[in-house]
Amino acid sequence: MTMIGQSSIFIEMLRQISKMARCDVPVLIEGETGTGKELVARAIHYGSARHESPFIPVNCGAIPDMLIENELFGHKRGAYTDARSDDPGLITHARHGSLFLDEVDALSPKAQVVLLRFLQDQLYRPLGGTHSFSADVRVIVASNANLDKLAKQGLFRLDLLFRLKIMYLKLPPLRERQGDAKLLADYFLQACAQRFGFGEKKLHSETLAWLDEYYWPGNIRELENLICREYLLEDGAIIRVKSPDFDAIERRTGTERRQSALISKVFNEAKSHAIAEFEQCYLSEALAQTQGNVTKAAKLAGKERRAFGKLLKKYGMDKQFYCSLTL
């Protein structure tokens, strides 16, 4: 695990990482894509008292909504049709260590409630199980999007954000780390030489000149991919790379990406998607406000209990998840 840099903002980041490693509480890491959020999460874990225990990374965007409990809490044999044996789940795998939830902003309203309930007392029960277990795990989460903004837009639970943001670290983009791009480029060149065996190569002075001027929308990952590609394509010992066209770069925030995703759908499909997202958020909030009491939640929503119950069934939302939530 190598972190490369000498800029003042990078050194300050290392200082914060060292402090957070000593504090056994949840950590929220935010930063643009490619800034090294998982690497920082690993640094926090391996610098902590939990360093001899597992570090378990999970991409929240890759977990289907209906499987979130199964992935986190595991299941007992016979819990559902294909459950032919016990599965301990990710929280058990991360016992005494750290659970890293990447792209936490991708969690659905239902999944957010599941995580919130777990964070309240670190108790969980495997699917099909009859007993709850106490977890000993540190939760570290990361997001490309600004969770404060998402919370204000009603796209992320504010109470969950409060529990995750006990420690907070905003990673600087590469363009703000003056001088670090050259150090990273040199490190990636050496790594390529060791991996591919095509000999040592260096960047041309003209290429080095624009590294700190380029915007780097993909940050360190973009730089690494660029160096790797040019290393493999260059037959000589000197690599000359033309500066990318700044005007061709389009940066998008998380919200803009979602808007773009909607535009890519036909109108009726996009409308249905937006309505479904709103309904799930609304149902989740109503159940949370009433601690899972469907009758009270339906009254709060101004709907008949039967109609409210149909909506819950439509989205597979279980009132039991909300019974012990503390608002």
**Average of pLDDT values for 108-117?**
91
**Average of pLDDT values for 209-218?**
93
Answer yes or no: is 256 within a domain. no
Give 287 or 155, the one with higher predicted confidence: 155
C-alpha span between 130 and 268 (Å, rounded): 43
Which of 172, 196, 228 terminates a domain? The answer is 172
Task: Report the pLDDT value the prediction gives residue 323, as an integer from 0 to 100.
Answer: 67
Q: Strand pairing partners for 102?
A: 59
Say which residue the tokens 């294909």 belong to: 82
Task: Report the pLDDT value the prediction gives residue 245, as an integer from 0 to 100.
Answer: 62
43/126 same-domain check: yes
46/165 same-domain check: yes
96/110 same-domain check: yes
Task: Report the pLDDT value the prediction gives residue 10, as an integer from 0 to 100.
Answer: 97
CATH number at 233 reads 1.10.8.60
313/183 same-domain check: no
- pLDDT > 70: percent of the chain: 89
Task: Report the pLDDT value the prediction gives residue 262, as an integer from 0 to 100.
Answer: 53
Give 265 or 70, the one with higher predicted confidence: 70
Task: Report the pLDDT value the prediction gives residue 325, as an integer from 0 to 100.
Answer: 53
Task: Report the pLDDT value the prediction gives residue 277, as an integer from 0 to 100.
Answer: 74
Domain, as residue range, for 296: 265-322
Query: How many CB atoms lie under 10 A from the CB of residue 313?
Result: 10
Answer yes or no: is 2 within a domain. no
For the ranges 13-27, 215-229, 255-269, 279-293, the lowest mean pLDDT is seen at 255-269
225/203 same-domain check: yes
Say which residue the tokens 């809490």 belong to: 73
Answer yes or no: is 255 within a domain. no
**Average of pLDDT values for 55-75?**
88
Question: What is the pLDDT confidence band of residue 32, given thresholds at 50, 70 and 90?
Answer: very high
88/235 same-domain check: no
152/185 same-domain check: no
Answer yes or no: is 258 within a domain. no
Task: Report the pLDDT value the prediction gives residue 139, as an integer from 0 to 100.
Answer: 97
150/195 same-domain check: no
Question: What is the pLDDT confidence band of residue 285, given thresholds at 50, 70 and 90?
Answer: confident
Which of 142, 172, 202 terminates a domain? The answer is 172
**Average of pLDDT values for 301-308?**
88
314/203 same-domain check: no
276/294 same-domain check: yes
Domains identified in the chain, total number: 3
185/143 same-domain check: no
DSSP code at position 326 = -
Which of 147, 172, 197 terminates a domain? The answer is 172
Question: What is the pLDDT confidence band of residue 271, given thresholds at 50, 70 and 90?
Answer: confident
CATH number at 306 reads 1.10.10
Task: Report the pLDDT value the prediction gives residue 252, as an integer from 0 to 100.
Answer: 41
277/238 same-domain check: no
Q: Report the candidate in 158, 167, 132, 176 with the shortest Cα–Cα distance to residue 11.
A: 176
Name the H helices within the chain: 8-21, 37-46, 68-73, 89-93, 109-121, 147-152, 158-164, 180-196, 205-210, 219-233, 254-263, 267-289, 294-301, 305-314
